[in-house]
Amino acid sequence: MTERERQRQGRFRTGIGAGAALGADPGSGTGPATATAPAPGPAPRPRTGPLPEPRPLGEVRSWPRSFADRLTAPLPAGVAGLARLAREGVSRPPAGALTEISELPVAQGPLPDAGPGTVAVTWAGHASWVVRIGGLTVLTDPVWSRRILGTPSRITPVGVPWADLPPVDAVVISHNHYDHLDGPTLRRLPRDTHLFVPAGLGAWCRRRRFTRVTELDWWEAVELPAGDGGTVRFDFVPAHHWSKRTLTDTCRSLWGGWVLTDPAGRRVYFAGDTGYGHWFAEIGARLPGIDLALLPIGAYDPSDMLRDVHTDPEEAVQACLDAGARRMAPMHWATFLLSAEPPLEPLTRVRAAWRRTGRPREQLWDLPVGGSRLLPED
């Protein structure tokens, strides 16, 4: 067991966050440990409080040359790390585990009806969701391509055929990595689609002739008119990650997640790509009453290289508890083989971690690719 793994276990055993201790078995160094006590569900939290005024739509702004000062851990891998991955062959699951691909849950179906008062989510795969909120259709990190640069082809079909999408009102982007910012998919959109992107990424979008591009820093927000009055608010929130798209643009743009709030105050938190850390509790404190957290559970093995930027299933459940979210929907698995864990392992582990919290099973929305759920009206 590495020193970093021992530190990770210690963090969960000491109970940092709102929930019970969840971590690896200290005897074996692998697998989940039994929680010391059931984690409490999120306490009711007021939906009022001071929030920053929304920024103007389409505002053109100047940014620092680098956002490296926002990193919460050293950059992953580097040249030596990538060489190690190639040398040891640990960047993909073992060949014997690939038989699990046929067992991955896929259930393509029609999008649910969603009027202005409905909040519905449909998982298209990886970090791509179709979010229906306030009468708007919002895509998160849309990747409809069969493959992305440097990665084998997707192992499950896109959950929603592009032709079946309603008109897209807005797209939110978490960061610029190729499996989250996909140029071929964005080219399918009308150029007047609203793109909400991290600071430093606006120029990339405008070069592709998008005319409604809004860049935000952490803890900033914009609003769009909702279908039947009021507004849908988009808050850009921190994440434990990084950015890089070429050899020369490391951390030149920001990274983060998004909290979408409808006119009735219902909130959906899209975490993007992130490791585990202190930001989840801060997000829950500043934007309380999150009804659904879309959290990544895959691409975590080998953990000593990836844990700072990708939550594993147990950490994702802990992040849900830290943020005070009422429900969790896993993502960032079952689509691209980005790391070495067996394809089905994230689902098995997240279900076990959730069970140990004592939270109701129906609050874990472990959707198949293509699956949809509607938030109940509280």
Give yes or no for residue 15 having a pLDDT over 80. no
Q: Which residue has the higher pLDDT, 233 or 2?
A: 233
Taking residues 225-244, report their average pLDDT: 95
Give yes or no for residue 21 having a pLDDT over 90. no
Output the pLDDT for position 80.
53
Greatest Cα pair distance, the chain, in angstroms, is: 57
Q: Which residue has the higher pLDDT, 20 or 281?
A: 281
| Helix runs in the chain, H state only | 3-13, 78-88, 183-186, 202-207, 279-286, 303-306, 313-323, 345-357
Output the pLDDT for position 149.
87
Output the pLDDT for position 36.
32
Taking residues 260-283, report their average pLDDT: 97
Output the pLDDT for position 152.
82
pLDDT in tens, 165-203: 999 999 999 999 999 999 999 999 999 999 999 999 999
| Helix runs in 30-189, H state only | 78-88, 183-186
Give yes or no for residue 309 having a pLDDT over 80. yes
Q: How far apart are CA 366 and CA 344, in angstroms?
A: 12
Q: Which amino acid is located at 199 in the chain?
A: A
Instruction: Say what percent of the chain tops pLDDT 90.
Output: 76
Output the pLDDT for position 24.
31
Taking residues 323-332, report their average pLDDT: 98
Instruction: Say what percent of the chain tops pLDDT 70.
Output: 83
Q: Which of 60-64, 83-87, 363-367 has the least mean pLDDT?
A: 83-87
Strands, sheet with 328-331, edge to edge from the N-terminal-most edge strand: 220-225, 231-237, 257-261, 267-270, 290-296, 328-331
Taking residues 51-58, report their average pLDDT: 96
Taking residues 255-273, report their average pLDDT: 97
How many angstroms separate the Cα of 31 from the Cα of each of 299, 304, 364, 378? 16, 15, 20, 36
Q: Which of 31-35, 107-111, 207-211, 231-235 has the least mean pLDDT?
A: 31-35
DSSP secondary structure code for residue 48 in this structure: -
Query: Is 331 within 8 Å of 96 (Cβ atoms)?
Result: no
Output the pLDDT for position 43.
44
Token pair listed for 224: 């769009």
Q: Which residue has the higher pLDDT, 65 or 75?
A: 65
Mean pLDDT, rounded, of the chain: 86
Output the pLDDT for position 94.
86
Q: How far apart are CA 236 and CA 216, in angstroms?
A: 7
Taking residues 224-242, report their average pLDDT: 95
pLDDT in tens, 73-87: 988 655 455 445 444
Place of tokens 């896929």: 106
Q: How far apart are CA 276 and CA 315, in angstroms?
A: 6
Grade residue 29 by pLDDT with cuts at 50, 70 and 90. Answer: very low
Taking residues 91-98, report their average pLDDT: 85
Grade residue 304 by pLDDT with cuts at 50, 70 and 90. Answer: confident
Q: Which of 188, 58, 59, 87 is nearest to 128 (CA)?
A: 188
Residue 131's DSSP bridge partners are 121, 138
Taking residues 155-163, report their average pLDDT: 98
